[in-house]
Amino acid sequence: MVYLEQYIREYQLDFLKDSEFADADVARGEQFLEYDRLIWKHLKNPSVQAYASAGILMGAALKGRGEPILVGLKDKFKADYPDSKFNQPLESLISASSTNTNEQPGNAGHSFSSGINVLGMDEEISSIRDLVGKFKGKVVYMDIWATWCTPCMFGMNHHEPIGQFSKGKDIVLLYVSVDDEERRARWEKVIEDKHLTGYHILSNYALRDELIQQFGDGAYLPLPTYLIFDKKGKLMERNAKQPSHNTLLFNQLSQYHK
């Protein structure tokens, strides 16, 4: 475990700078999201992946710091390795009681400004098909982002022109965040501060994993990622233009808005 932690933390994160979280919240355990990502990226044998993931999670739990994110990663481990012998000890070591109940991740009942619509509050949306299927008959421009992603924030500074262009047309602006649930409050604040009118969803683990498999390399999802789906829900542009390239983006969208 010492070797594994040194390989991930000191070599991959510190030396190679292979980090997605520029401001990982250690108290919440966001560094373990990086550990999980790097294990999937660099350890290809499933048995080795399971051993490494379980070892990291159990080691963290035994230190007794109660990082909230460990609970979500324990559930993800069970979904990834349903037959693993490590599920029982992980369940024993990591439970919802290990979270700090006085530190809740934002209010799920937050009331957003006019024009901002949040999906997934009353139902589980766990696949791209379910998500895009909600907008049959409309062109969908999907922006996959995260609050800790600086290029994502830059793209959102150019939201107003695409918002104006899509107004009155059968074009949906769909913002899919891959933030962890623990960042819900920060996610809500970015949406409000930038007044990102359109539709929003904070992806669960199932949806996030599918996005990584479909548009990443199975372990890493480049952010931001922009996609265009036609009115039948078919993916037409895997590398759509970003909002700052507004004229080129408008031309792309116009091809499918006929």
Over 90: is that where the pLDDT of 245 sits?
Answer: yes
C-beta of residue 139 within 8 angstroms of C-beta of residue 229: yes
141-175 confidence digits (pLDDT tens): 999 999 988 889 888 989 999 999 999 999 999 99
**140 backbone dihedrals φ, ψ, rounded to 5°:** -115, 125
Q: How far apart are CA 203 and CA 23, in angstroms?
A: 20
The full set of domain ranges for the chain reads: 2-98, 116-256
CB neighbour list of residue 246: distance below 8 Å, 6 or more residues apart: 158, 161, 162, 165
Q: How far apart are CA 25 and CA 78, in angstroms?
A: 24
DSSP H or E segment with residue 49: helix 46-62
pTM over 0.85: no
DSSP H or E segment with residue 139: strand 139-145
186-231 confidence digits (pLDDT tens): 899 999 999 999 999 999 888 999 999 999 887 778 999 999 999 9
Identify the CATH number of the domain defined by range 116-256.
Answer: 3.40.30.10
C-beta of residue 12 within 8 angstroms of C-beta of residue 42: yes
